[in-house]
Structure 1
């Protein structure tokens, strides 16, 4: 091993912000997110308790699965095929990210990247943000999220 680390690259639109002069940001299909969540519940031998589409100013959809190990809360990024797991449902997240359950690998079959807690809790300063737009950088300076997870799964307006 050479000691180098893979750096997470924030893509344009990953904060959900843009100026009116910027091209539209990509959007994930909430129906695809819902279908993946139901497939994950089957893999978990659990039940979907709910799946809720994003509501402004959130940039993520939320879902809950109950299985024999308890309740699992997933956050589906609204712009990219990313998912994170948290301990409970809130409007925004800073340090509440958790490691995904083992059955979350089923989400990868639908094209989702399942993000682990160590990555989400890593300092934003360690991420490659060169692809972000000027509008996104301005919002980051204003809101000052400290972690990658707080930047990706946000409740800023």
Structure 2
């Protein structure tokens, strides 16, 4: 199933972290961070719920210090939490609502293609739980690394879907 932009593991395991991945402005940044359009996310969310034969649960737009929008799809199997990165069009899935994640990601459900169809990129559990040592994190600043260590983050998903306070 095509899930949008190819985010599968490369042969060397690199996943370069672009500007805005951590949600922090960097010294010398020109202009604000990029933004994922919340309307695109909401439209895809309602399409996904329809495909799941369910409904949309509570939707929370990103608020500082969280780096992502948070929503859910409720269907016969229960609640699936949907995370949408605020600065890049990345989608992830989890079993429960939290302000931060490290390894608590789910395999994308069958209806995840609704997000890819809307131009968002669905990140699979394998990608999200990739150890930071296998990610190209050379663009992270000293402050970003300090926070990674402070929060004991060990995975790509932990850096992307977090609440830095």
Residue in 2 that maps onto 1:124: 132
Whether 1:153 aligns to 2:161 is yes
Q: Does 1:73 align with 2:78?
A: no
Q: How many residues align?
A: 152
TM-score by length of 2: 0.84
**Aligned partner of 1:112 among 110, 120, 125:** 120
CA root-mean-square deviation: 1.7
1:5-154 equivalent positions in 2, closer than 5 A:
5-19=12-26, 21-23=28-30, 24-130=32-138, 132=139, 134=141, 137-144=142-149, 145-154=153-162
Could you list the runs of 5+ residues in structure 1 that have no partner in the other structure? none
Deviation, structure 1 residue 5: 4.4
**What's the CA shift for 1:8?**
2.1
Structure 2's unaligned 5+ residue stretches are: 1-9
Specify which structure has the higher proportion of strand: 1
TM-score, reference length from structure 1? 0.89
